[in-house]
């Protein structure tokens, strides 16, 4: 049990809270005094076979620990489902202070083989799912002049990971959404920040070792290479940072991304313009001029993340 409860009297909606990261967040927030709407569709990793079980289990475990929670089994990809989740918080607990949205699916495929359905389903769950919830909770939080929104991005979006065009686009899209929402809502006392998690979960375990080995052999940089490999990366490690970001102590932290991998926690730098070349006068650059200056200026220290094999 926590030394001091940081979320006493608050209400949190946590999606994907039937398992792994979401479950860890829901349980720790409940320990810190928050009442929780535990959302989980209870599907397989590819989004199929819904079952209410996982959400109900988390609710039961929170109850056993003396916390308050209610289950919701809607899909975040469904706007009406998102509406019902927000309504569940208001109807059951009378308010809504915190949204945490780790719900997600995977449909990995190399871009040249990816089907429309694989693209659409991942964009719908991750990116539209974030919009469905954020747009609705923002109406409540703007009125009450306080709130915390914690989104879930990914190393696949921030750094890029082969075979995940859909997931990478959705997850970097969530980073962009987070930056805009922070600017739309900050003035109303609401913050929006993103977690970039690295953890052993269903999702990461679905990447076969053979795929990892193939990437390494071909010299394709894997996104998760930023984390020291010898450190354990349990799903539960994501929860404490999420709780702190949801607390009053993080009121000035807004529009940021935090990478969390086990015991490693880091602020992720925002993209900024670096080395710059400017052509004096009114004439445009020519292609040859850019080619001449590029290697020693803009291209300095640049590397191809997936170079073609040399013949």
Partner 1 sequence: MTDTLAGKTAIVTGAGRGIGAGVAQLLASEGAAVVVNDLGVDLDGSSATQQHADDTVELIAAAGGRAIASYADVTSFDAGAGLVQQAIDAFGGLDIVVTCHGILRDRMIFNMTDEEWDAVIAVHLSGTFHVVRHAAGHMREQRTGRIITFSSTTGLVGNPGQANYGAAKSGIGGLTKVVARDLGRYGVTCNSIVPVAATRMTTSVSDEARAKRAERGIARSTEGASGARFDPDDVAPMVGYLASDFASNVNGQFFYVYGKSISVMSQPRLERTIVKTEGFHSVDELRTLFPERVTGQLVNPAPEREA
Catalytic residues: 167
Indicate which single residue of 53, 90, 184, 225 sits in contact with partner 1 (rule: CB under 8 A).
184
- Intra-chain end-to-end CA distance of the chain, in Å: 61
Q: How far is the CB of 61 from partner 1 (least distance, A)?
A: 19
Which stretch in 42-50, 63-71, 86-94, 224-232 sits in contact with partner 1 by CB under 8 A?
A: 224-232
| 37 to 32, 106, 153: CA distances (angstroms) | 15, 24, 21
Question: Which tokens belong to 259?
Answer: 């990478």
Task: Give the one residue of 48, 210, 276, 310 binding partner 1; rule: CB under 8 A.
Answer: 276
Give the residue, chosen from 8, 49, 116, 296, that forms a contact with partner 1 under the rule CB under 8 A: 116
Instruction: Give the C-alpha separation, 180 to 215, whole Å.
Output: 34
Whether 129 contacts 173, CB under 8 Å: no
Encoded tokens for 252: 């000035």
Q: Where are the alpha helices (DSSP H) in 66-114?
A: 79-93
Q: How far is the CB of 51 from partner 1 (least distance, A)?
A: 27
* Phi, psi of 293, deg, nearest 5: -95, -15
Q: Report if residue 63 touches partner 1, rule: CB under 8 A.
A: no
Stretch that binds partner 1, among 12-20, 41-49, 67-75, 238-246 (CB under 8 A): 238-246
Considering the complex, what minimum distance in angstroms separates the CB of residue 104 from partner 1? Answer: 14
- The distance of closest approach from Cβ of residue 183 to partner 1 in the complex, given in angstroms and rounded to an integer, is 4
DSSP string, 38-50: EE-----TTS-S-
Q: Name which of residues 164 to 183 contact partner 1 (CB under 8 A).
A: 164-166, 168-177, 179-183
Site for partner 1 in 3-42 (CB under 8 A): 3-4, 6, 28, 32
């Amino acid at each position: 049990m926590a030394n001091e409860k940081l979320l006493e009297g608050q209400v949190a909606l946590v999606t994907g809270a039937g398992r792994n990261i979401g479950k860890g967040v829901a349980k720790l927030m409940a320990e810190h005094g928050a009442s929780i709407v535990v959302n989980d569709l209870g599907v397989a990793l590819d989004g199929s076979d819904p079952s209410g079980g996982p959400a109900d289990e988390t609710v039961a475990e929170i109850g056993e620990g003396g916390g308050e929670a209610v289950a919701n089994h809607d899909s975040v990809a469904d706007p009406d489902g998102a509406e019902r989740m927000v309504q569940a918080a208001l109807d059951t607990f009378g308010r809504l202070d915190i949204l945490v949205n780790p719900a997600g699916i995977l449909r990995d495929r190399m871009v040249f083989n990816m089907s429309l359905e694989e693209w659409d389903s991942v964009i719908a769950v991750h990116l539209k799912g974030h919009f469905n919830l954020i747009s609705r909770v923002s109406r409540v939080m703007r009125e009450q002049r306080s709130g915390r929104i914690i989104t879930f991005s990914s190393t696949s979006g921030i750094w890029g990971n082969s075979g995940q065009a859909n997931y990478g686009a959705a997850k970097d899209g969530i980073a962009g959404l987070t930056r805009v929402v922070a600017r739309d809502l900050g003035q109303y006392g609401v913050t929006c920040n993103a977690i970039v998690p690295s953890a052993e979960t269903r999702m990461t375990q679905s990447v076969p070792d053979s795929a990892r080995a193939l990437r390494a052999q071909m010299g394709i940089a894997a996104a998760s290479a930023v984390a020291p490999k010898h450190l354990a990366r349990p799903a539960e490690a994501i929860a404490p940072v999420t709780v702190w970001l949801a607390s009053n102590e993080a009121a000035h932290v807004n529009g940021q991304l935090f990478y969390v991998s086990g015991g490693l926690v880091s602020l992720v730098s925002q993209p900024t313009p670096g080395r710059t070349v400017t052509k004096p006068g009114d004439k445009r650059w020519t292609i040859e001029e850019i080619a001449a200056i590029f290697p020693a200026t803009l291209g300095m220290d640049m590397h191809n993340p997936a170079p073609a094999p040399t013949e």
